Each structure stands twice: as C-alpha cells, then as structure tokens.
Amino acid sequence: MSGSIEINVLKNLNNENVSDYNSSRGILTRIVQNFNKIDIKEIEPTTQNINKSIYEGDLSVVVDKLINITLNDLNKGSANEERKNHIIDYINNHKVILQEIYNWLLNNQNHSNSIYLFGYFNYHGIETNNNKQKALELYQKAAELENIAAQLDLANMYINEKWTEKNCNKIFELTKKLAEKNNPNAINRLGYCYDCGIGTDVNKQKAFELYQKAAEMGNSNGVNNVGWCYENGYGTNINKQKAFEFYQKAADLGNVNGMNSLGWCYKNGIGTGVDGHKAFELYQKAANLGNEYSQYNLALMYENGDEIKKDITKAIYWYKKSAEQGHDHAEKKLTKILKILN
C-alpha cells in the first residue's frame, strides 16, 4: 500500500430470528350463521394460485433458476450487491411475490438449493431481518450436501466475516476440492489461499498462476488480481503497463474492485498518465455499487478537496458507508472527524 489513498490489497474473493410463517396456508373460511346468511372470508392466495400457469403450484423451478443465476455470478466474480440485484430482478420480472417464495423456502428445507437460498435470504435480509449466523448455519448444511453455491459462499464467509471461527485448513481443502473441478471462483480463491497462506504455505508463483487461470476462465476477480500481481511484482516481474491493462479489463467486465484499482492507477499514474478527475469518476462509480475501498477513497478525496470541492458532509457519508462494511481505516477516519466536529 502506498500514498494516502488505499487500494484493495485484500484482493477480491468476491461481500434476528426468522418468523415462522405457514406458506401452505390454503383458503381459510369462516362461516357465520346469522339470519340464514353465510359470510365466507378468504385470506391471501397461496403459491398454488400465483403464476399457476407458469409454475404449476411449485416454486422449486424458480429456486433452481435462482441458484443457476447466483452460481454464474459467483464464477464471473460479480460483487455481492450485483448478485443480490440479479436475484431480486428475476423474481420481480417473473411476477413472483417475495413473501411467497420466502414462505416456500421456509417450509421446503429438504433440498440443498432451497436450504442455501433460504440462507442467502437471511444473509442479505430479503423478506426478513439480516441474520448472518442463521445464514452461516444454512450454508454449512447445504455445503455438506455438496451444494456448490453454498460451498463458495461458505468459504467467503469464513474468510471475510470477522466473527466467524476461522478454520484455515477447512477453507483450503474446500476451495482446493472445487478448484480441481475447474470452478473459476474457487480457482481464484485458491490463488488467494496461496497468496495469504490460508491453510497452506505462501507460494507467490502458485498464486499468480491460479489468478491467471481464473482470469482466462472469465473470472473478473482473477483478472483484477493478475493486475495486482503485475503492479507489485508478486509471483512475476513488475509491469505497470500490464497492471493497468488488466485493471482496465476487470473494470470493463463490471468488476467493482477493478474499477477501484483502475482509479488508483489514474490517481497515481500507474501505467498511465495522472488523471484525478478520471480517478474520482471510477471511485464514485464503484462506491455507488457498494465497494468499500472506493467508498473510502472517495471519502478521502472529499475530505481533502482533492480534484473536487472539499465537502466534509460527503466525506462523512462515504466513510460511514465504508466503515459499515468493516473497513478499519474508514472507521478510524470517521471517528476522528466526528470527534473534531463535536
């Protein structure tokens, strides 16, 4: 890390109680006999009545499709927020009621896909409160049933969530097993394991080779990580021009970490000319897409009035956004600014 603005050196890995609600509620009738009149009251329609012509009363088809969508996003290296949006968009576009699919998942926990997706809903607070502990338990259960999406997200949680019990050997073995099946997401993460010494010895050359392989398979996180290796001479020779090119490619693929990395290049003249305005635009784009590193970098530019008009209010806003995602430097900056203002 160099300079006052932080780049994502943690390379991409691309991230309450649940109410018991009866989804098989059917049609409830209440018969009240009064002056020979019968009043029949019907509650909300069941899943059997919603989109019956499409799903024939069973949302398992939708669940399987959602798993395919998120697995595809995982292998492409999509960010968490983008993955979530793809899930919500598919549900809305097919006119499925979120509460109905939540209820169906709650009452159909006998298949790895529904177990995993219920965990996903809990993790992201979809139709329920955020409950990462519950999500972790469901991911573990689905992972034991060999659900690939669950295994990938479980490894992500073990690495990224500070509160989870780290089991480096388990992370490495699970990732290695999936990488041997040519899963792009796992290949990139296996590179990260060799990169950081998670469950294995640090091996810079091996990390670089795995990042390259993941990149060649279309994983945008792998593309960004190859750029990082070229920038820092990690497992290969330093080549600032190649670093810039790989960051550009990752950004073009929609990778938010790639956007942040490219912004870093423009801010510091790495493989290209210095262009503070371009750096600001890239940080802003990635920040709006939920990237905590760009949120921090954007806040720093607002705090210092670097290339833009100084704006402490906006700096506080973005430091807070970044800190909420666990960015330690953002939290320290936020605390310091608020202390001064108070």
pLDDT band for position 27 (50/70/90)? very low
**Is it the case that residue 44 has pLDDT exceeding 70?**
no
Find, among 46, 63, 60, 53, the residue nearest to 100 by Cα. Answer: 46
Asked if residue 39 is part of any domain, the answer here is: no
Find, among 327, 269, 80, 185, the residue nearest to 177 by Cα. Answer: 185
Alpha-carbon Rg for the chain in angstroms: 23
46-75 residue pLDDT tens: 434 444 434 434 789 999 999 999 999 999
Asked if residue 319 is part of any domain, the answer here is: yes
Asked if residue 43 is part of any domain, the answer here is: no
Asked if residue 21 is part of any domain, the answer here is: no
Residue type, 45: P
130-174 residue pLDDT tens: 999 999 999 999 999 999 999 999 999 998 887 887 789 989 999
Residue where a domain terminates, one of 161, 185, 215: 161
Asked if residue 219 is part of any domain, the answer here is: no
Residue where a domain terminates, one of 161, 179, 214: 161
Asked if residue 326 is part of any domain, the answer here is: yes
Asked if residue 114 is part of any domain, the answer here is: yes
CA 161 – CA 111 distance, rounded (Å): 26
**Is it the case that residue 6 has pLDDT exceeding 60?**
no
pLDDT band for position 302 (50/70/90)? very high
Q: Which helix (H) or strand (E) holds 37?
A: strand 37-38
The 10 Å Cβ neighbour count of residue 269 is 12
CA 101 – CA 96 distance, rounded (Å): 7
Number of folded domains in the chain?
2
199-216 residue pLDDT tens: 999 999 999 999 999 999
Its domain, for residue 297, covers: 288-341
Output the pLDDT for position 146.
96
CA 27 – CA 53 distance, rounded (Å): 19
Report the CATH number that the domain containing residue 152 is assigned in CATH.
Answer: 1.25.40
Displacement of CA 335 from its chain's centroid (Å): 26
DSSP bridge pairs for 37? 34
Residue where a domain terminates, one of 138, 161, 184: 161
Q: 33: Cβ–Cβ under 8 A, 6 or more apart, which residues? A: none
Output the pLDDT for position 31.
31
Q: pTM of the entire structure?
A: 0.81
Asked if residue 14 is part of any domain, the answer here is: no
Find, among 156, 59, 66, the residue nearest to 117 by Cα. Answer: 66
The 10 Å Cβ neighbour count of residue 325 is 17
Output the pLDDT for position 37.
39
